[in-house]
Amino acid sequence: MSARLEAEHLFKVFGRRPDEAVERLRQGADREELRGDGTTAAVIDASFSVGEGEIFVVMGLSGSGKSTLLRMLNGLLEPTAGRVRHDGQDLTALTDRALREVRSRKISMVFQHFALFPHRSVRDNAAYGLEVQGVPRAERERRADEALALCGLAGWEKSWPDELSGGMQQRVGLARALATDADLLLMDESFSALDPLIRRDMQDQLLELQKTLKKTIVFITHDLNEAMRLGDRIAVMRDGRIVQTGTAEDILLRPANDYVASFIQDVDRSRVLTAAAVMDTDPRGDEADCACETATPDTPFTELCAISARVPHAVAVLGTDRALVGVVPRQRLVGFLGDEDAEPTPCRNEGGEDGKKVISRA
Ligand SMILES: Nc1ncnc2c1ncn2[C@@H]1O[C@H](COP(=O)(O)OP(=O)(O)O)[C@@H](O)[C@H]1O
Ligand SMILES: [Mg+2]
């Protein structure tokens, strides 16, 4: 996967003598120590790279530095130190004019508050980014209508924003971002103001759209469940620093520290884990039957539980060409649902000769 967007040792310090502050932060000072001098270290030494077509989520509590980080990614804020690269091009080295060009053509932003223009129709709102780019009316309307249809708003083109529900207004915001050809989408708490059900709906819609659009997305949220549903990878921020970057499974099964561990207690593991994370790849003495109902490595946990309830033995997990890649005994499923110590102890050998796999194939 090629890197579309890279952050290299990004710092943003607000207040007096920012360069001096960066030096102290590099030497290990934290935000609290600088606060005394009236200096805010909003982002501290952030590095990551986002691949083509990836959804990269930045998750952290309010004040952890997410929005500041995002504003450096789109060039609205100049980093105090460090670099941002788009397709290898150093954003921090561009002239203001070149930067505006990049921002209007390559990047689309979606904010928490839909920021729709009340006196423009839904269509004209969706077409706004194209209008800024100087795209002729007929073409921008066609593209706006296409984007609205993608977002489930066909038929609403001529309505006014206040005729739409909050969820629908947010879809118009999303359509506006999708109508331009920009393939880098930056979303700052885009769904956070929505009611839970509508929010879930928007998450599903985004994932569905992403299957075909394959945009490169940086999505910001303070909600770990949302992060885990959407993110191919997630960076967890705390007090300006990224404390862990990994897949949902990495974070759930191998939290980098107590802080991350405390966060994941509230996560619904069954929505995140798949058979690949749960299966025993070195089964000893677990009987599984490949002729019965089986799973694949990407079978979701909840489905795995359902299969497990229907078969009288461990569930066989089959990879390509139906080769056995692991087994999931029922007691292993239970082990993964607890919030303490996610990795269950390996299954003991019950019955059978020591170390012998007991796999019956029909
Ligand atoms: N323009 C600014 N001037 C001074 N401090 C700022 C500014 N913008 C953000 N901050 C501070 O930087 C920290 C991170 O803010 P922000 O990036 O908005 O966090 P988040 O989006 O995670 O809630 C906060 O302490 C905030 O008060
Ligand atoms: Mg914010």
Question: Are 262 and 288 part of one and the same domain?
Answer: no
The Cα–Cα gap between 327 and 316 comes to: 5
Q: Which ligand is nearest to the CA of 112?
A: 2
Ligand 1 binding pocket (C-beta < 6 A) is 14, 40, 42, 60, 62-68
* H helix runs in 93-195, sequence order: 96-105, 122-126, 128-132, 137-150, 166-179
167/191 Cα distance (integer angstroms): 9
Mean pLDDT to the nearest integer, 33-54: 94
Q: What tokens does 185 get?
A: 């989408």
The reply to whether 88 and 36 lie within a common domain is yes
Co-location of 7 and 96 in the same domain = yes
Structural domain boundaries, residue 323: 274-360
Last residue of a domain, one of 248, 267, 286: 267
Nearest ligand atom owner, CA of 239:
1
Number of domains, the chain:
2
Average pLDDT (67-84) is 95
Same domain, 215 and 187: yes
pLDDT of res. 341: 45
pLDDT at 137 (0 to 100) = 95
CA of 231 to the centre of ligand 1 (A): 23
Q: Is the pLDDT of residue 302 over 80?
A: yes
Question: Any idea which ligand is nearest the CA of 58?
Answer: 1
> Whose CA is closest to atom 16 on ligand 1?
65
* Local structure of 35: helix, strand or coil: helix
Residue 346 has what pLDDT?
A: 39
Question: In this structure, which residue's CA is closest to atom 1 in ligand 1?
Answer: 14
| Residues in contact with 295: Cβ distance below 8 Å, sequence separation at least 6, in sequence order | 275, 303, 304, 307, 315, 316, 317, 318, 328
How far does the centroid of ligand 1 lie from the alpha carbon of residue 65, in Å? 6
**Rounded distance from Cα 129 to ligand 1 centre (Å):** 27
**CA 318 to ligand 2 center in whole angstroms:** 43
Ligand 1 atom closest to 71 (CA)? 17
Q: Whose CA is nearest to atom 26 of ligand 1?
A: 63
User: 328-353: buried (b, 16+ CB within 10 Å) or exposed (e) per residue?
Assistant: bbeebbeebeeeeebebeebebeeee
* Nearest ligand 1 atom to alpha carbon 188: 21
- Residue 62 phi/psi, 5° resolution? -60, 135
Q: Which atom of ligand 1 is nearest to the CA of 70?
A: 17
* Domain membership flag for residue 140: no
Interval 207-235: pLDDT, tens: 988 988 899 999 999 999 999 999 999 99
Choose one of 16, 40, 219 to mutate for the ligand 1 pocket test, by most ligand atoms within 8 angstroms of C-beta. Answer: 40
pLDDT at 286: 64
Q: Are residues 189 and 41 in the same domain?
A: yes
Q: Which helix (H) or strand (E) holds 230?
A: helix 224-230
pLDDT (tens digit, 9 = 90+) per residue, 122-151?
Answer: 999 999 989 988 999 999 999 999 999 988
Report d(CA 261, CA 149) in Å as an integer. 41
CB 235, CB 56: distance < 8 Å: yes
Alpha carbons within 13 angstroms on the beta-carbon side of residue 319 total 7
User: What is the percent of the chain where pLDDT is above 90?
Assistant: 52
Question: Does 171 reside within a domain?
Answer: no
| Same domain? 328 vs 348 | yes
Give the number of the ligand closest to the Cα of residue 78. Answer: 1
**CA–CA gap between residue 174 and residue 125 (Å, rounded):** 11
Tell me the pLDDT of the chain averaged across its residues: 87
SS3 sequence of 183-216:
CEEEEECCCCCCCHHHHHHHHHHHHHHHHHHCCE
Distance (Å) from CA 313 to ligand 1 centroid = 54
Pocket test for ligand 1, best of 11, 13, 14 (most atoms within 8 A of CB): 14
CA–centroid distance, 217 to ligand 1, in Å, is 22
| Residue with CA closest to ligand 1 atom 18 | 67
- Res 114: pLDDT: 67
Instruction: Name residue 6's beta-bridge partners.
Output: 49, 85
Distance CA(185)–CA(209), nearest Å, equals 13
Asked, for residue 68, whether it belongs to a domain, the answer is: yes
Residue 239, pLDDT > 70, answer yes
Tokens 């960066």 map to which residue? 22
Say whether pLDDT at 118 is over 60: yes
Residues 356 and 241 in one domain: no
Residue 293 CA to ligand 2 centre (angstroms): 46
Instruction: Count the neighbouring beta carbons within 10 Å of the beta carbon of residue 27.
Output: 7
SS3 per-residue string spanning 260-320: HHHHHHHCCHHHHCEHHHHCECCCCCCCEECCCCCECCCCEHHHHHHHHHHCCCEEEEECH
Give the pLDDT confidence of 317-340 residue by residue, as tens digits. Answer: 999 888 889 999 888 888 777 644
Instruction: State the distance from the centre of ligand 2 to the C-alpha of 58, rounded, in angstroms.
Output: 11
Q: What is the separation, in whole angstroms, between the first and last Cα of the chain? A: 40
Last residue of a domain, one of 245, 267, 289: 267
The yes-or-no verdict on residue 358 having pLDDT over 50 is no
Q: Are residues 193 and 251 in the same domain?
A: yes
Are residues 349 and 204 located together in one domain of the fold? Answer: no
Q: Looking at the domain assignment, is residue 321 inside a domain? A: yes
Q: Give the DSSP H or E segment for 60.
A: strand 55-60
Residue 109, pLDDT score:
86
Bridge partners (DSSP) listed for residue 241: 238
- Total residue count of the chain as it appears in this document: 362
Residue 94 Cα to chain centre, angstroms: 28
Ligand 1 atom closest to Cα of residue 237: 22
Distance of alpha carbon 217 from its chain centroid, rounded?
8
Place of tokens 């928490």: 112
User: Is residue 18 located within the same domain as residue 96?
Assistant: yes
329 Cβ neighbours under 8 A, 6+ residues apart: 280, 283, 286, 313, 314, 347
CATH of the domain at 263: 3.40.50.300
How many angstroms does the Cα of residue 323 sit away from the middle of ligand 2? 47
Amino acid at 78: E
pLDDT score at 270: 80
Q: Looking at the domain assignment, is residue 34 inside a domain? A: yes
